[in-house]
Amino acid sequence: MCSYLNLKFEVNGHIAIITINHPPANTWNLKTFKEFENAINRVEDDNDIRVLIVTGAGEKCFSAGFDVNDTANVHLTSPLGRKLWQRIDRFPKPVIAAINGHALGGGLELAMSCHFRIMVDEPKVKLGLTELNLGIIPGWGGTQRLSRIVGKKTALDMILFSKRVSPHTALKIGLVDQISDSLMEDVLDLSQKLANLPPIAVRCVLNAFSAGLYDGLAAGLAKEAEGSAIVRETEDRNEGFAAFLEKREPHFLGR
């Protein structure tokens, strides 16, 4: 098993948890990116892992984005950030952002790449793309994903004026799906529900979603048709129908 300097990695049953552990603000430098890439490779390659949770160490920050102490490697970290956040956006297994603290800049861009976002209900915690304060712009997908999530007008207002929003505002505008005063308990509850689903069918749904988003409607429909053919041949499909007829909960094995 690999050990990491700036991340924590653990697996509980079908659920993997990656914790960004780069104090004081869980920022991203080249080392952290490379460790994260290694960790998500492990998650994707392990058929027993069905769900990924991404969170931050401590109570202050989920992630404050780019590590300004690593500007010497910016020519490497910027394209790597775009690549890895897009990979999370298109990940074939559900990814949940457990937003335990501030998510700013590239940290919010990572959270927006996840399929689900649950945020701690703490008024002092803020979300925002604040890059324009530094004379730069969101560069890891923020200009595109924020507008798709909250709409063009709200996204422009947040980005151009570097606005930071509270948990309740984030929930109201749809930037997060849920706020919680029992964050990890609620995240693990959702994770378990997702892990109980038929994993091959889940993968096919996520692949169809991402194909439609990135490659257009025709590509999404083609990927949907491909997925329908795949799941028809699975044992999980037979189990699903049998459980329905027998009026019991299905037990999906991922094959």
- Say what angle helices 152-160 and 142-150 make with each other, to 10 degrees: 130
User: Exactly one of 10, 59, 109, 233 is catalytic; which is it?
Assistant: 109
Q: Based on the residue annotation, tell me whether 109 is a catalytic residue of this protein.
A: yes
User: Exactly one of 37, 131, 226, 239 is catalytic; which is it?
Assistant: 131
Cis (ω within 30 of 0) for the bond into 92? no
Cα–Cα distance for residue pair 104/94, rounded to 1 Å: 22
CB-CB neighbours of 181 under 10 Å: 10
Cα–Cα distance for residue pair 188/193, rounded to 1 Å: 9
Q: How far is CA 242 from CA 17, 76, 193, 200, 236, in A?
A: 33, 51, 20, 17, 10
Q: Based on the residue annotation, tell me whether 233 is a catalytic residue of this protein.
A: no
Q: Which sequence positions are flagged as catalytic? A: 109, 131
